[in-house]
A and B are shown apart, each in its own frame.
Chain A
Amino acid sequence: GDSVTQMEGPVTLSEEAFLTINCTYTATGYPSLFWYVQYPGEGLQLLLKATKADDKGSNKGFEATYRKETTSFHLEKGSVQVSDSAVYFCALSDRQGGSEKLVFGKGTKLTVNP
């Protein structure tokens, strides 16, 4: 079945450091790819998405490019802030019938220190 593998955490960075969280996937067909963020005690929020190869999703300074040749969707941010501390989940969509299911990676906890 479809699966998502993302880098193990936790990741600890200083403010203004560069962030990369690796994500690779295995899927039949051409899924849409997502990054969700979960702040402490809250539900998941969509951070960005890409629906086809070479698409770049971006939001709040975060970017990720859908790379079909390497089956990857790595998350990057040039300068992190303390407020970016959260758990980040990479996910792909698996369409079944009339709805889509999300397959999540295990999540990467990011802590940004001042």
Chain B
Amino acid sequence: DAMVIQNPRYQVTQFGKPVTLSCSQTLNHNVMYWYQQKSSQAPKLLFHYYDKDFNNEADTPDNFQSRRPNTSFCFLDIRSPGLGDAAMYLCATSHYAGGPNEQFFGPGTRLTVL
């Protein structure tokens, strides 16, 4: 089945220790998104790629970076995690072809910062 896969599902890191979360998709979608979702809140878009074009949200901290080496994979790098970065991180994909399109979400990675 075509899907969005996130690894790992649970990640524990230490304060200030860099961490990378990964997302892969078998949908061949041209857009990939990273959201941060804190407890009992709506997902907040961090950035997205349209093909290789990177689009950062204005309020995304510099501590968060992303890479998309190919169509299928996208990574979220947190350079120096703080306690406030503990959250669920959701990857989503969509395929833009000129009209309205829906986003398909992965199961998320729950990040704990000790």
Q: How many whole Å from A77's CB to the nearest CB in chain B?
A: 20
A100–B42 CB distance below 8 A: no
Say whether, besides A105-B42, A106-B41, A45 and B48 are in contact (CB < 8 Å): no
| Stretch of B13-21, B68-76, B79-87, B105-113 at the chain-chain interface | B105-113
Say whether, besides A43-B107, A45-B105, A100 and B96 are in contact (CB < 8 Å): yes
A99–B108 CB distance below 8 A: no
A98 to B53 Cα, complex, angstroms: 10
Hey, which chain A residues are within 8 Å of B31, CB to CB? Answer: 98-100
How many residues on the B side are at the interface (Cβ–Cβ under 8 A)? Answer: 27
Hey, which chain A residues are within 8 Å of B108, CB to CB? Answer: 42-43
Main secondary structure of the interface of A (DSSP, over half): strand
Q: Which residues of A contact B (CB under 8 A)?
A: 32, 34, 36, 42-46, 49, 51, 89, 93, 96-102, 104-107, 109
Per a CB cutoff under 8 Å, which of A43, A49, A107, A109 touches B102? A49
A89–B42 CB distance below 8 A: yes
Identify the closest chain A residue to B44 (Cβ).
Answer: A104
B100–A100 CB distance below 8 A: yes
Q: How many whole Å from B13's CB to the nearest CB in chain A?
A: 20
Interface residue B26 (Cβ < 8 Å from any Cβ of A) = no
Q: How many whole Å from A86's CB to the nearest CB in chain B?
A: 13
